[in-house]
Amino acid sequence: MAQRNAAPAPTLPLGRRPPRFRFFLNPYVHARFATCPQCNGETSERKLPLVIHVEPRHLLALNMTCRFCERCDLLIAHQDELESLLAAYFSERDPDAVGNDYLVAGTMDHADWERGLRGSPALQDVLDQLHEFAEEAWFEPAPRATRGARAARTRTARRAPRHGEVQERLEERQRVPLRLRPTFDAIVERTDAVCREHLNHEYARLCRRLAAALCRKRPSPVTRGKPEGWAGGIAYAIGAVNFLFDKSQTPHHKASDLCKLFGVRPATGAARASEIRKLFGMYPFDPVWCLPSLLDENPLVWMIEVNGIPFDARYAPLEVQEEALRRGLIPYLPKPPAIR
């Protein structure tokens, strides 16, 4: 079933008209939401002017056909359609703005929009006529149409997202530049699915964090190649830090099997992983990319210097540990490890 999660509405009031609609910018090209992701009722078409701010200084209204659920007051615009309208608009007027970050700020009444077409409305006019969205919503697409009963059974047997997973993904997504959010979604959809089935939620969380960090790199490498390659490379890189390929670990997988789970060739997965590890300077037991459950055992996390001498903080007196914690040198007060 589709998941929903709402982000808080923007805090700065821009529009002078009362806010309306809950808004979902749908990034999934395969989900068109003919049924409402919230109430499962049929959605209808609604064409209305969306007010969009495009970096660095464009404010425009595009009359666009959206899906609408009256019962949930939910307006859904398909991101791919919106972006092709934007590209068409700017390729004539300002080709430099094609592909720039943008924000759908709200909607406008038809009458205002038509009046605006006749003249060239000032920025203030547009803001005066703007209805911001009451809320931004977020949904996961329902599973795709089945190819037969057997396919449906396998699909329903799959594990549902863990409680909080959707929220975590949304939070990570907000740290990704707008332009790369569809790519981020495509990558994380895959890492989440594989981690849910074959790894664990700690891996899922680190993969999401790494995917977002990759999207923030300038220039970001994820703009080339396929999302499954990056998804596999991300899991591979996180796995390498955390000894996923070591049989003594739980969970563990062979590197080639991990790549197979993402549907990529081992050579591709390894190449992407090596690129990622180089980009972030990742190494085995790297505290930045270490699973929380491995932190206890990770000697690199606990090495501090006392008077210039490296020292394992797990064995240090409590007051030294407290001081190290205060200075942010260790993540928490450790339990002393068992002597082996």
Q: Give the interface with Zn ion as residue ranges (CB under 5 A).
A: 36, 38-39, 41, 69, 71-72
- Shortest distance in whole angstroms from residue 15 CB to Zn ion: 24
Burial of 141 (0-12, 13-18, 19+ CB in 10 A): middle
Direct distance between the N- and C-terminal alpha carbons of the chain, in angstroms, rounded to an integer: 48
- Shortest distance in whole angstroms from residue 47 CB to Zn ion: 19
**How far is Cα 289 from Cα 311, in angstroms, rounded to an integer?**
22
- Shortest distance in whole angstroms from residue 41 CB to Zn ion: 5
Q: Which is nearer to Zn ion, 40 or 156 (CB)?
A: 40
CA-based angle 19:100:18, to the nearest 5? Answer: 5
**How far is Cα 16 from Cα 13, in angstroms, rounded to an integer?**
8
Q: Which is nearer to Zn ion, 137 or 187 (CB)?
A: 137
Q: Which is nearer to Zn ion, 67 or 272 (CB)?
A: 67
Q: Which is nearer to Zn ion, 38 or 79 (CB)?
A: 38
- Shortest distance in whole angstroms from residue 26 CB to Zn ion: 14
Output the residue with the shortest Cβ distance to Zn ion: 36
Please name the amino acid found at residue 195. Answer: C
Q: Which is nearer to Zn ion, 107 or 129 (CB)?
A: 107
**How far is Cα 94 from Cα 55, in angstroms, rounded to an integer?**
12
Q: Under a CB-based contact definition with an 8 Å cutoff, are residues 130 and 52 in contact?
A: no
- Residue with token string 């270490």: 290
Q: Under a CB-based contact definition with an 8 Å cutoff, are residues 140 and 2 in contact?
A: yes
- Shortest distance in whole angstroms from residue 134 CB to Zn ion: 15
